[in-house]
Chain A
Amino acid sequence: MSFLTPLYLLAGLAVTLPIVFHLIRRTPQGRQVFGSLMFLEQSPPRMTKRSRLDNLLLLLLRGLALFLLAFAFARPFFRSHQESLAQEDVGRRLAILVDTSASMTHSDQWQRTIDEVNELLSSVSASDSVSLLTFDQQVNSLISFEDWQELPADSRQSTAEERLSELKPTQRRTELGDALIYAADLLAQNSERKISRRQIVVVSDFQEGSHWEVLRGYEWPEGVDIEPRIIELENTLTNATAHIIAATNANDKDLRLRVQSSKNAQSETFDLQWDRDHLENLEDPISDRSPSKTRVDVPPGQSKVVRAPEIEEGITAHKLLLTGDDVEFDNVSYVAPAAPWNVQILYFGDEDAKGPEGLRFFVEPMFPSTPNRQVTVTDWESLESPPDVNDPEITMTLIGTNCDEEQVNWLRDSIKSGRPAIFVATSVEQGSQIYDLLELSPSPVTEVTPEDYTMIGDVDLTHPALAPFDDPRYADFTKVRFYGFRSFDSNSFPDSQPLLSFEDGEPFLMEIGNRQLILMTAGWGRDESDLAVWSKFVPLMNGLLEHLENRVEEQPQLYVGDSLTPALLKSSLEEIWFQEPEDAPVRVTNDSPLVLEKAGIGMFAESKADLTEGNAHEIAINLHPDESRLDLVSFESLEAAGLPITSATTALLAEEESPESSRQLMNRELESRQRLWQWLLLAALIVLILESVISGSMQRRAGRSVFSTQS
């Protein structure tokens, strides 16, 4: 028999107490002040034979109860069971998380990481179960627990080291929180083997921008602790980084960047300049005062917004370099030069552009030119001769009047050739011409004049042109009123889709064919509707323009690690072809996204052929800005979020004591299984009850005898 807490047996010495009390019958009960002790003498404590004989049973019972209690507290258990248990090996369950994010590429960080992991692996004992995981934006398992178990014990470490040596840090950002949750869930799973400890060892630089915040809402499983192995950077490292914040177009003069400096930066002056390495005749370095170089002073820990330097002649503005800091990996910002987008709208109408009464007046304000887009509006009337139907310069037609035969023929050919058109039905007669243009059998068109006014009743927010309004803040279409419109039979158009409908269900805006023609059943003239003064009108028309032209004016910022889909690129296409820098084209759909791996200039197009033929759009892929925040994360905050972080030293101590602690653990387990203390406690209770009963009956007997003597 063994004891879990043998020191409690010392309490068994308390057994002697009742014996002592029992033998000394009269011990001083207290102190008594007395006038004078001159007539008194010291009386010796007395032991009486009588008391010993009378209460021997009680004495035994009391002693036994105390002894049982002491015995129970010492938590006894039988060793014989342990032999069978000892066969089972008890080891740690260890998840090693290796950071492979972009920040690990700095200097010798990666080599130090590998060394640290190798050292960790060498300290793993044969009974331990290990899973080697890498993490950046996602978690990859190099060796799972099952793999580890299957590997022969002597080749485990070498296999792990081998796999590790093949590993390279990626350019992705760090998602420490997700990785920890993944590992914790992995460890929390029940294992059939005996486990002495569940531990996650994180080998990382623990940078500030490691996105651990998700852990705040996560309930950390009990019994899983974290040991951070910090691959620390120099404390005085200067790291500055530039991120594009507005206008992603390199041609834009308003291209602005935020330059941010690390907290412990030693220098404050950094330079921004375009990459000139590809210049054939690389001249002398540009002088500090040149407009091709932007010098920026940023105090440590702060940021500043600056304009990009001017583009030198002969430079392809793709790479913007930042110099002046110690950390290289985040010093390049990629900017894609957007291809110029020229929109030429051929307007069919006879109104004067001067007054706000007609449609023409609003066309130019409706489609304004922007830095990325050049819009020209050409009136058919002003042309001396009809233009070539296949003229690629003319990108769209806008029909707002009754067309003559020549115009109808031209338009019919234009629509057939795939040039999009917007058809505004201003009257019944003019509206009927749409059938002619689309070569459909005519259906009756009626003029509708509501009693007072009508409003938009139904909006198809799933349509790409209206998708930007799909937000409770912008989805209010009740501000616009219509005083008259043309009613078309929607069944008369094959392949038509109403985008906006009036209250009575009649369509107001209809797409006919795929990007073929947009029909508006009411114009924006002031006598017909309030469209021209409606705040959503210009965004709506530009949305239609982008949809019809299948172009996006502003491309989103892409970061390494993002899952690329056509939707992310604001494309309404089902599938696109994307080519990452120095990589082969890949087909991307909304269901099979492409995870971006490399920073640089990517290209996308509608088809693979377009990509190879140079009809592709360029888009910049940059490192995630948070990856540049290299300052050490605050471990206090991590602990405050409920993470059980053990320092390396305590972990080391725990490791040193591991045989002892595992034996302890086994003992505890044995004891908790046998639970002998409960029986001992029960026995002590029974003895005490017995003692009470006996002493009670003895007292009663004594009382009776006194009574009888008195009587």
Chain B
Amino acid sequence: MPSSSSSEPRPYPPPSYIDSQSLMQIKSLELRAKSVVEGLMNGIHRSPYHGFSVEFTEYRQYSTGDDLRYLDWRLFARSDRYYIKRFEDETNLRCHLIVDNSRSMTFGSLGYSKEDYAKTLAATLAYFLTQQRDAVGLFRFSDKVDEFIPARFRVGQLRRLLTSLESAPEGTSSGINAALEEAAERVRKRGLFVVMSDFLTNVDVLQSRLGYLRAGGNEVVVFQVLDPTEMSFDFDQPAVFLDAETGQELFVDPEQARSQYQKRLQEHLDQVSAICDGLGIYVSRLTTDSPIEIAMLDFLETRLRVTQTRRQ
């Protein structure tokens, strides 16, 4: 399992990805998700990324020890050869998206906020998974869980998810720890949890909370969404900085504060990475100017590895 997406050299982004700024111009969340997914599907429909969907089928020659339940008897009747249907060990995926809806996510320097980005990503995932007939649920949280939609695969589920995603933030602070705890409590069946947050909060108990999820046998993928400005802190004028969550005001001269800020941020990020690594959780750090497809491909890649690991 990779420790972090940023640590590996990547062959993409290829030039054909949708620029995330252009994407954010699209008002409808559903349309955004659709554009990303369809673009992506065009690119990968012959790709090796398969294995967690009932729609995808492939035959493999039977070898000794394979479960006979998955033997394709019809094919055997036609060809007199034993073939195993490839989806033998894949049940329908139950995926819960845990989306941070707190005020800190409303910050954005590119004309759209981290929240927009995270929601687009969530919508894209939801759309993609729904297309593959997987069950998708949602935890939308700020200081508490604002909305919980259990994972289902049924007509209207996608609509519910998208509507919920489009609703405005309710709370102020980021209660990611509480949200993770609640997710672990409420979702009994094993499944996949995709956490989308900036993780700009105290991470002291993050380890234990993510640990709960992992302990339940769930897969966890973390997307840490950050604004490019948050990474670089390239403000040029001194100003009173206002905390989006607490409302705290602080006079800051960027020139003076930059190096200190970057140092502390890096420490924090390392801390988050360390926690996730320790739990075997894949962390993808995304800045809001990077194409959504990258996140998607990251996700698919991770999934592939997971399934491959399992199969081995």
Contacts and interface: CB of A to CB of B under 8 A. Distances in A.
A41 B260 CA distance: 9
Interface stretch (B2-10, B55-63, B248-256, B276-284): B248-256
B252 A40 contact: yes
A32 to B, nearest CB: 4
Contacts of B237: 26, 29-30
A29 B239 contact: yes
B257 interface: yes
Given A32-B241, A35-B244, A43-B251, 20 more contacts: A26-B238, A30-B240, A31-B241, A32-B239, A32-B242, A34-B242, A36-B200, A37-B241, A38-B201, A39-B264, A40-B252, A41-B252, A41-B257, A43-B252, A43-B256, A43-B257, A45-B238, A45-B251, A46-B253, A46-B256
B301 interface: no
Nearest to B230: A35
A305 B76 CA distance: 137
Interface in B95-116: 104-107, 114
A31 B240 contact: yes
B243 interface: yes
Given A43-B256, A43-B257, A32 B240 contact: yes
Given A40-B241, A40-B257, A43-B256, A33 B250 contact: no
A36 B242 contact: no
B265 interface: yes
A42 interface: yes
A93 to B, nearest CB: 65
A281 B114 CA distance: 124
A37 B248 contact: yes
Contact of B239 (A28, A36, A39): A28
10 contacts: A28-B239, A30-B239, A33-B242, A34-B242, A35-B200, A36-B104, A37-B250, A38-B200, A38-B268, A45-B251
B238 A42 contact: no
Interface residues of A, number: 20
A135 B37 CA distance: 104
A385 interface: no
Contacts of B238: 26-29, 43, 45
B70 interface: no
B198 interface: yes
A42 B251 contact: yes
A554 B90 CA distance: 135
Interface string A19-59: 00000001111111111111111110110000000000000
A39 B248 CA distance: 13
Contact of A35 (B198, B249, B251): B198
A34 B107 contact: yes
Given A33-B107, A34-B241, A26 B200 contact: no
A35 B114 contact: yes
Contacts of A39: 260-261, 264-265, 268
Contacts of A30: 237, 239-240
A30 B235 CA distance: 12
B69 to A, nearest CB: 51
B242 to A, nearest CB: 5
Nearest to A33: B242
B245 interface: yes
A144 B49 CA distance: 119
B107 to A, nearest CB: 4
Contacts of A29: 237-239
Contacts of B198: 35-36
B227 interface: yes
Nearest to A30: B239
A28 B251 CA distance: 7
A605 B237 CA distance: 109
B104 A26 contact: no
A566 to B, nearest CB: 99
A30 B237 CA distance: 9
A42 B261 CA distance: 12
Given A28-B240, A29-B238, A40-B261, A35 B250 contact: no
B248 to A, nearest CB: 6
Nearest to A29: B237
Contacts of A34: 107, 230, 241-244
A24 to B, nearest CB: 10
Contacts of A35: 104-105, 107, 114, 198, 200, 227, 230, 244
A116 B242 CA distance: 76
B118 to A, nearest CB: 12
Given A41-B250, A42-B250, A43-B251, A31 B242 contact: yes
Which residue, of A28, A37, A46, has the highest number of chain B Cβ atoms within 10 A? Answer: A37
A26 B241 CA distance: 14
Nearest to B173: A36
Nearest to A39: B264
Contacts of A33: 106-107, 241-242, 244
A26 B261 CA distance: 19
Nearest to A35: B107
Nearest to B266: A39
Contact of B245 (A27, A36, A45): A36
Q: Which 4 residue pairs spanning A and B have beta carbons closest together?
A: A35-B107, A43-B253, A39-B264, A36-B200
B113 to A, nearest CB: 9
A41 B258 CA distance: 10
A40 B227 CA distance: 16
A368 to B, nearest CB: 105
Interface string A494-512: 0000000000000000000
A38 B107 CA distance: 14
A171 B115 CA distance: 99
B115 to A, nearest CB: 10
Nearest to A27: B238
Nearest to B236: A29
Which residue, of A30, A32, A36, has the highest number of chain B Cβ atoms within 10 A? Answer: A36
A42 B106 CA distance: 23
A418 B251 CA distance: 123
A295 to B, nearest CB: 93
B52 to A, nearest CB: 34
Nearest to B256: A43
A535 to B, nearest CB: 94
A38 B233 CA distance: 13
Interface in A381-413: none
Interface in A70-88: none
Contacts of A41: 250, 252, 257, 260
Nearest to B174: A36
